Every structure is written in structure tokens, then in C-alpha cells.
Chains A and B, each alone.
Chain A
């Protein structure tokens, strides 16, 4: 059973190594298809794992640990490279490798003209490997390894176009932000080791309920430190600033890493550690609060941005906020369900946006687009489907998952009416910014007549269609997801809360957002100008993303730079450099004094030898 699971890790790694060693010797398109085949193979193996899980009864599906390689074996501590197969990891892997495969195929078309085609695919394979390691890890150590490796892959891919200064700076920012999270994770891992004597998931989670009281200081600290990592990776407040900047990378990267998979790793982490988090209700409240606040914050900023990818990036933050809200109020399976549907429609939106950018010859400003529905029909329809799903239009995938989150925000274990109200606002915002983007891009007349947009090749549109189909019907998977995952989350049943009124309000909020967008952007310019004038101060704040970057710059970057400058002047030049110089100088002086002994005269050496002989004989005789 599960004996092929190592292939999930091996295939992308083999792809990465092959591509990076072969370099440009690989024929261009072959490299792309090879990388895609590797990820496709991993997806097939994951499907096999799924089938094997189904061969067992639900209670037996947990804790299948495959040890691949015993790495550190010592008294009281052992570390194996082992794989944990259970419904949660397989579910997550289905999303990672499935969506990853589609995006690989899409990238073959999107990156077709790039000179460093092979390098791009090598990095993509590295990312898939790292993400699989993160998901499959059976202990906190390899979780952190995978966690850091996805950060590395993200860094490499954001800064893929190394000749763009903004891209390199954005990559650095993302890396630094992620490292802040990594530090938190590492400290949490140390604390876990201190309390449990092991890093193994199975043992830790088994011991957790008896090891701590609810809201015990230690468990609070562990969960909060883990949360630092989760928030940094998932771009939640206040560590969110890297995600919009990360859009400098190629669009498939944004779709794969910064929408579908990596940024949702935080949600996965909380779901994976549910045994710990259930011991810390305080942390759960914090997760839910941060999630819902991020949802509103990012949604409001997304309403006024003009860069097509940035809008979707803020939307991603907002949707991840929803996921955190779900896991925060204690309905982990619904959070994972939203993770899946979000992966579908957000990857779809990004890829469609990439198709638009491709067709518009690398133009990202939506003010210069418009009227693309005739030029790019496939992209138009798939983007519409994605927008509907994102906005939560009834009967699309997003409708089911988001509706359940909004309802759980009130009815679940840790839910309350405030979460519900804030979630409703965020849902309204989602509808508004999604369709604002849609109208700007596809409806109306073209704002740049000189551009000649064209439809993308089929290697790009086919993944779009597949994802569009998944976005439409993915919502039907909800009950299945819940049943499948429930063993991992302690077999909790979904306490469905039937409140027709609240559901209607939620749907109305989504539709209201859409209708507002229609009212402002489809009926003429006057309303737009009027709205802008009315809300000028708010608009400014939103357009500048609440000045968070500026605040960080003022609070952290400037003081650090000032300290650095001071230290450079005082400590570096006058302290360290001076002392180092003096060491060299003094050594030279002393050695000049000592070098008298090296006279080069044989007789003096012989005399010294005789003196040594005399001394040794003294010892021999008298001692």
C-alpha cells in the first residue's frame, strides 16, 4: 500500500535536476513538455493514492507513514525522511499537482518566446517538489524544509526576469517576509520538541490533548509562532505587503504560487495542526479575526487598483482571509474546500489575465484595455466564469464554499455575529472588484485603438477551459470534501445551520456588489467621477493601500538604515576596520623584531641546537 508515494516527490525533483543540468541543450518545447509530464505523473500517482485511500474504511485512512530514508538516528532523537499519507495531504496534493499540471501546460504557451524557457520550467518543477514535500512531510522538520524551499522557489520565480529591477526587489521583499515567518516556525518547532520530545506529527497530535490545558501558555505560544509562519506565507495582515509586489513575476507563477498553492500553505498548516489549535481557542479567535480583517482590507484595496494582476492579488489575499476565517471558527473542512475552489477559479482568473496580458503585448493597466470580448472570446468566457465563481454567484464553485464559510462564521464553534457581518461586507466587496475588473477589461470600447489583441494559442486556452469547467462544477464536491476530510479533523460533523434569512443576505451581498459594479462602470462615466469625488479621501487611502508600505518604511526600514549607517561610520570604520588593521600592523612589527633570530647563519643555528641539546640532557639526567 502507498508504496509508490515517493514518486510524488521524486518526479518533480528529477524534472528539476534534469532540466537544470541539461540547460540549453534540451530542445526548447521538449523541456516544457517534459516538466509538465513530470508533474502530470505526480498527479497520476496522487490519484492512485486517492484510490488506495478509498479502498480502506474512513477510520483507517489516517497516519500512513512511509519512511523513505532514516536520516538522523541518535539516542532520544531520530529524524526520518518520511511521508504522511492521509486524506488531508492527498487532498492538498490533488490541488497542487492537478492545478500545477494545468499551469505547466499553460506556461508552455505563455513563456514560448522567453529565452530562458528551460530555467523557468526547472524552477516550476522545483516548486512542485517543495510544495509536495511541505504537504507530505510527516514531521515538523521536513515541513519547515518544504516551507523554506517553497519560499526559495517563490523567490527564484518572482525574480525570474532578472533584468527588471522591480522584479528583483519584489523577490527580495517576498523572501525577507517569508523568512520572518520561517523564524517563527523554527522557534515553534523547538518548543514542540521541548514539550513532546519528538517532531513527528502523529505522536505530537496524539499527545497534544493530554499535554496541555485549553489556552495553556505553552500551547498558545506554539500556535501563535506557527501562525507567524502561516501568516507570512499566506500574506495575511500584517505580513501581507509582499504578495502584491510578487506580481512582478511571470503570470503562470502568480497563478501557481501566489494564488493556487503556496499562499494557501498557511491554511493547510492550521488545518494540519488542528489538534494543537483546538487546544488554543484564543488563537482560533485570532486567526478568524485576522482572516476576516484581511478579507475586508484586501478587498477594499482591490476595489481601486488599476493593475490587472494586482487586483487579483488583493483578491487572493481576501479569499485566503476567508479561508483563515473558516479554519479559525473551527470548520477546517470548509476552509480546505474553499482552498480547493479558490485554487480553481483564482488560477483560472490569473491564467485568463495572463492570456489578456499576452494578447495585449505585456500591457497590465486595465485603463488601457476594454472591448476585448470580441478579440478574445475564449478568454472572455472563461474569465467571466472565473469572476462569477469568485464573486460567489449562485451555483458556481465559489458560491458553495463561500456561502458555507459565511454561514459558519456565525454558526460554528467559535463563530459569532460580528464575524458574520464582516464576512458579508467582504463578500460584497468581492463582487464589486471582480466585476469592476471584468468590465474594465472586456466590456465597452477599446481604449487603446492601436493595440491589436489576439486570442492565445490552444495550449493556453485548453487549461483555461478545464479550469473553467472545474470552477463551474467544483462546488458539487463540497459534501465529498467534507466526508473525505472529516477523519483528519476528529470526525466532526458539519452542524448545518439553516437560517434562510442569513443565506439570503449573503447572496444579496454578493449580487449587490456585482450590481454596484454594473451601475458604476456600465452606465457611463458620470457615476464613476461622481463616486470618486464623493469618496475622495477614502479613495486616496485605498489607492495607496492604506499606506502600509509607507508605514513599514517609516517604522522599520528607515530606523534600521539609520542604525546601519551609524554603525558603518562608528563601529565598522573606526572600530572593526581599525582593530583589524592594527592587528596586521602589530604582527608585522613584532615579527620584524623576532626575525632577528632567522639570521641565515648556519653556525648560529647550530649553537641554538647545542643549547637545546644541553637543556634536554639536563632533563634526562636530573629528572
Chain B
């Protein structure tokens, strides 16, 4: 952020700098939008607005992914998250009825706010530690642009990370089985057992 201000103040505006400035300001704006959208998720009293804000947040993050040379992930983010998952959320909200949540200020909320505030401060302080690991990867943005994001990730996924990938597929299977059993076997409220 500081270098951005420095460059802005130095008025050294050739073509690349202007493009760079433009790109950085876009990133900045999108990032701030994402934060605002997430605030909206938490602060809106009605679940349906929360869901819409969440979609907004996810789209913002997807755009940021694009800015950071992760085109494939951006697509996945939009399709899976903003598309599938959030549609699911909206269905459920439609099914259950979106009731407005009353606002009250409780001790627990106060504690939550203060603790989370502390957490945020600490995370910011952790930022000051700076870089802990040297840059040693070989997959530079140029390489990705040459190969293509999806192909690069595919090669990486099916060569070095095949085991986590397969485990993830197993996890999805387990989730599917779990949902089927939740839906199929109706839950009966527990009663005290009586002797027959």
C-alpha cells in the first residue's frame, strides 16, 4: 500500500506504471468490496440478504483470484461456491422461511465482539513478522500463462497430490451417503423406553 502511495506521489507516469496503478487500484477496490460484503453477511438481520451478500463476497474473491493468476480456481469459485453451494443455501432459506432475527445486545455478543477484535489485532500484528519463507517455486506467472492455469493445476494435482485428491473424492462419497441416510430414515424423537 505504501509503495502505491509513493508512486502516486512521485507522478512518474509512464505506460506500465499507469497500467500497474490501474490494476492495483482495482485489486484494492475489489478487496475492500469483499470486506464490506462479508460485513453485510454478518450484519444483515434477514438470512436471504446474508446469502446475497455472501454471493457478492465470493464473486469478489473470484475476481481477486483472477488478479492473482489463478484463473481455474476463479472459475471453480464462481461455479461451485457462488453457483451450487449458494443456490443450495437459498433453497433451504426458501424452504424454512426467512425469519428476521431480533437484535439484542447480550453479554455474549459483547464478549464475542471483543475477542474477535483482539483476534483481528493479533492477526494484523502477525502481518508485521513479514516473509518467513524464500521464494523458491518454479511455477512463475509466465509459466502458467504459457501452459494455462487449468492444465498446470491438473498436472500438479494428478502427479504430486494424487492421494489428497482421491481422499477428497472419498469424502464426497461419504457426504453423499450421509445425506441419503439423513433424508431417507426419518428421525423419531427419543422417548423414554417403556417395558412391553
Contacts and interface: CB of A to CB of B under 8 A. Distances in A.
Contact of A607 (B111, B123, B126, B129): B111
A614 B118 contact: yes
A604 B108 contact: yes
Interface residues of A, number: 11
Contact of B112 (A607, A613, A617, A621): A607
9 contacts: A603-B108, A610-B115, A613-B119, A614-B115, A614-B122, A617-B122, A618-B122, A621-B125, A621-B129
A620 B112 contact: no
A610 B119 contact: yes
A207 interface: no
A248 B123 CA distance: 86
Given A604-B108, A607-B108, A614-B119, 10 more contacts: A603-B108, A607-B112, A610-B115, A610-B119, A613-B119, A614-B118, A617-B123, A618-B122, A621-B125, A621-B129
Interface in A424-447: none
Interface in A585-623: 603-604, 607, 610-611, 613-614, 617-618, 620-621
Given A611-B115, A614-B115, A621 B108 contact: no
A479 to B, nearest CB: 86
Which of A603, A604, A613 is the most central at the interface, judged by chain B CB atoms within 10 Å of its CB?
Answer: A613
A613 to B, nearest CB: 6
B191 to A, nearest CB: 20
Nearest to A616: B122
Interface of A: 603-604, 607, 610-611, 613-614, 617-618, 620-621
B116 interface: yes
Closest 10 CB pairs of A and B: A617-B122, A610-B115, A614-B118, A614-B119, A621-B125, A611-B115, A607-B112, A614-B115, A621-B126, A621-B122
Contacts of A607: 108, 111-112, 115
Contacts, number: 27
Nearest to B123: A617
B125 to A, nearest CB: 5
Contacts of B111: 607
Contacts of A610: 112, 115-116, 119
Interface string B112-132: 100110110011011001000
Nearest to A610: B115
Contacts of B126: 617, 620-621
Contacts of B125: 621
A268 B118 CA distance: 85
A618 B115 CA distance: 12
Contacts of A613: 119
Nearest to A613: B119
A476 B108 CA distance: 104
Which of B112, B115, B116, B119 is the most central at the interface, judged by chain A CB atoms within 10 Å of its CB?
Answer: B115
A611 B111 CA distance: 9
- Determine chain B's interface SS by DSSP, over half rule: helix
Interface in B74-129: 108, 111-112, 115-116, 118-119, 122-123, 125-126, 129
Nearest to B125: A621
Interface of B: 108, 111-112, 115-116, 118-119, 122-123, 125-126, 129
A358 to B, nearest CB: 59
A602 to B, nearest CB: 12
B115 A617 contact: no
Nearest to A606: B112
Nearest to B126: A621
Contacts of B112: 603, 607, 610
Nearest to B120: A614
A614 B123 CA distance: 9
A457 B112 CA distance: 97
Contact of A617 (B108, B116, B119): B119
Nearest to A621: B125
A610 B119 CA distance: 8
Nearest to B128: A621
A433 to B, nearest CB: 72
A610 to B, nearest CB: 5
A499 B115 CA distance: 110
Nearest to B118: A614
Nearest to A607: B112
Contacts of A611: 115
Which of A604, A611, A620 is the most central at the interface, judged by chain B CB atoms within 10 Å of its CB?
Answer: A611
Contacts of B108: 603-604, 607
B179 to A, nearest CB: 21
A607 B108 CA distance: 8
A384 B149 CA distance: 115
A98 B19 CA distance: 114
A543 B136 CA distance: 106
B90 to A, nearest CB: 23
A617 B124 CA distance: 11
A155 to B, nearest CB: 48
A610 B108 CA distance: 13
A329 B129 CA distance: 94
A604 B119 CA distance: 17
Nearest to A609: B115
Nearest to B122: A617
Contacts of B115: 607, 610-611, 614
A621 B122 CA distance: 8
Contacts of A604: 108
Contacts of B118: 614
Contacts of A618: 122
Contacts of A617: 119, 122-123, 126
A604 B115 CA distance: 12
Nearest to A611: B115
Contacts of B123: 617
Contacts of B119: 610, 613-614, 617
A427 B111 CA distance: 100
A617 to B, nearest CB: 4
Contacts of B129: 621
B132 to A, nearest CB: 12
B158 to A, nearest CB: 35
Contacts of A603: 108, 112
Nearest to A604: B108
Nearest to B111: A607
A601 to B, nearest CB: 9
Contacts of A621: 122, 125-126, 129
Which of A603, A604, A621 is the most central at the interface, judged by chain B CB atoms within 10 Å of its CB?
Answer: A621
A621 B126 CA distance: 6
